[in-house]
Structure 1
Amino acid sequence: MISNLTFLNASWFWPVVICWLILLLFFVWKEWSQAGKKRFVLKIFLIILAISSLAFITLKPAIYKKVREGNVLILTEDFKQDQLDSLKKVYRKIKIVDYRNDEILPEFKTSKQIFVLGRGISDFDLYQFEDLPVTYLPGDTLAGIVKLNYNHESRVGNSLRVQGRFLKPKSGSQLILEDAGGTGMDSLVFTSEEKENFNLQTELKVSGNYVFNITEKDSLGEVLSRNTLPIRIAKEEALRVLILNSYPTFEIKYLKNFLAESGHELVVKNRITAGRFKFEFFNTENTRLGSLNEKKLEDFDLLISDAGALRNLSSSETSALQNSIRETGLGLFMLEEANTLNSLVDFSVFELERVSGTETEIDNLPEVSIAKQPFKLKEAVGLEEIHNSNSGILSGYKRLGQGRVGTTLLENTWQLQLEGRQEAYQQIWSQLVEQISKRTSVAASWEARTDFAFKDQAFEFQLRTSVENPRVRDENEHLIPIKQDLNNSELWTGKTYPQNTGWQKLKIEQDSTSVFKYFVYKAEDWQALQSYRTSQQNKRFFQQEIVEEKSVKMPIEINPLWFLGIFLISMGGLWLEPKL
């Protein structure tokens, strides 16, 4: 019984006990002159009862009791009316909560069974349903774009490729990619009302922050829907790349052609036999490279090498390469079989895990099958992914001082060109080269951790900076709290709730040049995509094993009228005692 007893005002326990003791001592002292007389013990007993009753009224004692209330039905956007009607017939006394209007959810821990109808619960509220008996019944799926993939950041000269899936299109309607001025850049016509994948693209010619649009029009040209596509376009920068090749491969052959055609300055050092090399130069002057040293490596942004070439480096060349990566930010990309990656003692920074399958689809390249090695990069502290798939991380890098060391488990990507899928090939290698090459020297680098930022909803970001104790402010000069990573003193994360739509910015107070711009959507933007993502997230979350309908112990307050009655009886006894 005592183990089930608690106090709702437990934080007041000791102050109340002290007051109780003071009052008790005062009244005992007051009555002490009558000690030994008739009914003295009775009066002390009544005093203790009266003071204790007041103490209990203040502390609000409660007893843990097993409680299990009725069923709850939660309505969210796009719920099915027939599902609602059926549940109301089966559970006539079911409690209905309208999540569309209620900003704060009630307590559900004592609910017997919970039904969620419609789009589902927002991700920031799902934690309230952990380990609860919940049944999720998805609602009507909205027609429109339910999957979307495109690079939010790109460079002048690159292509903007927008890929996705459109659900329930109207036959004959068009999907148009429009530029910032509303001019159609690419389009397609839906030929059926089945779900259809789409791929739209256009060339990026001017740097800046722009808002493209994806517009759906019917066969008569009337606008059915329009969604914004914000993109940050940076100026084109030619990289200086060095390739070390211990033996000729098709992968290197097609890669060097791609880099040269993209305008990068390229030096290729091909090993013919022991001690003999052949040099190739693209978009740069012919210069004899000779042995590698820090001065020569300073001129390059990226070094691409196979395992054999790295093993053939002398100890002084290996030391120079390591120093260049750590000190000047040179990027190293290792293009080799997975089995040999861990044999490179000085550059063995990746952990591998064997998986099944030698073909896959990359997450940002749907329906493009690519050959891969039967391994994945094992998730580890410091590993940053570039390409991912259902089988795991396929391409990634780790930071080494100021530079980056990266690799990929994709193989024979050159076959994509032979199959006429040049765009997929270019996208893969553009991402690899851009992610691993030397960074432009900046005081801070920003990264959005939230795909879509909406007004008054949480937007998470990540900041890397050498600034000590940075202070981040938004466009309204409000200070944004940030948290430092335990393992990396230069890595910070933060969360803000944007109050306006359109392009917004964050900046470091100590460095006015370190500005990060992100786009905030209107609540009505991307409705079909939001609905689909929320529904899929709810399906995954509520796949957890249903908890048995067991009672939950909750503290139930003892009715204070009992203590009030004891107090009144005690005071009445003290009042009557002198009159007896």
Structure 2
Amino acid sequence: MQGNFTYLVIAVCILLALGFAWQEYRRVNKRNLLLRVLAVLLAAASLACIALPIKYTGSVTKTGEHNAILLTDGFNTDSVNADSNILTTDAAIKKAYPKARLINGLDELSQTDKLHIYGYGLNDDELAQLDSLPIMFHPANPAAGVSHINWNGRIKAGEALHVQGIYNNTSAQKVKLVLRGLNTGLDSVTLPPNTRTNFDLKTTPKTTGKVVFTLHADTSLQGSIPLEITPVKPLKVLMLSASPDFESKFLKNWLTENGYAVALRAAISKGKFNSEYINIVQLSLDKLSSQTFEKFDVLIGDLSVLNALSPAETGALKQEVADKGLGLIVRADSTGKASWLQKQFPVDKPSGREPAPAALIINSKNSVSKLNYGLAHIIYQNGTQPLVKTAQGRVLVNSAISGSGKIVFTALGNTFSWTLSGNKQDYSAFWSVLVTRAARKDGEVQNSIGFLSLPYVNEPAQLNIASAKTSSLLINRQTTASAQNPNVPFEYSAAYWPATVGWQNVEQNGMQNSWYAYAKNDWAAVQATGRISATKKYADVHKITDIVTKQIQQKVRIDVPKIYFYILLLAACTFLWVETKFS
């Protein structure tokens, strides 16, 4: 059929050429006869070429590989070769980029030799489905928003919540980050434009139990901050004072006001003591023993009083600190007796004029008002941790571990001056640091739950559970299989798909625990950063080794563009028309 059509077109064009050439020859005016005949023949030939497919033989370069492009969130349209085999697993991407073919899962890439991934990439679970398929990753620019986030998700009542991270501000405007909880703004910070900025927000929650705070960038929700706040048991404090003094009196009052249980013994003469009991059952403090010390979490004593204890009392105190974790706060005084308590805290008191009152650095923060701290200071020793220093670096309060317990040594004996001047803030900050650092650790055991990445609803969550012994694991009252880590015997892992957003309950070894499953849109920039990192690591291991694949030269028939023949036909006809007009 095609051959008949070709012959027909050629025959018609030849007849047209002969007919029009004969007409030109018969004209009376023989001027430009040769050019007119050539124009007629050229017009007929151009018409034939327009009607017929005119081709020539040429060579093209092809590759022998079966490549594909996978589009993920964040990809740049301009960077994608539209002639490639473009795939995606996201219906939203398919809608935005119709040239992509929607596939049901990554298992459909099994026939692909090499894969190019554009955008933010894939998460660890999705990368595992590639089954070592070589890839080249073309990462998108970092997403705008909170790209890294961390906070202390389990705290005790009275402790501060710290929310730290990095915000990537890609706009030309400032951004205000706001930490919100219980429909109230708790802390905020303004971040500069066009920068990646570290931030640190903090607040002290006034409630207990499970709560969910949120972080907002202006009006845009960045993500949820689940928090579990456990009530604290009142600490029991034993105070041993060489004599009734202002420092002991104000400290006793502060401990009482803050809910501590306090027993105070102050010497009034040799072998005679005055005892007070606040929020605690009375017990004899005349002779101290292991049974006495084990009833308390912290012992605060003057150095002279602790040095004057009998050998039996000293031995009981040492054992309680080293073996059972009793916290010990020692207040330096005028005693000159060598003591086991000062082994790591040598005190130097140089001669000369006392320095002027100055602000102190309490746990890395400057005090609000000044204090007359005198000449005495603690000589720093390796293995100790200073808690309070002067601006010049002199250590006034130091701490060290002693077995299971901690010893805090202070060279300050007039902190009550802060309270007398109306500055309760610095006084409270000072003694809170000392008591918290020294206090006996809570012996309550709770299984620890960790995650390799934030768990999201309807996605597999990999739980790592630290447990002293194995037992059945119940998540939301469903029995879930767990596997023991062969390298860490007390660590178990389990996979779980949370079906709802919110707190998920865990029960193991008779103990209750919980963790939080996030909504899909929580921490979008954090998810993007995690996928970019995971995909880069995968690409480094499973590289496309021959990026420039072997090229094959192949002979093919190539169509001649019709535009050339249209131009020739138009030129021939124009010449014939003009020549006729002016002859």
TM-score by length of 1: 0.49
Higher-Rg structure is 2
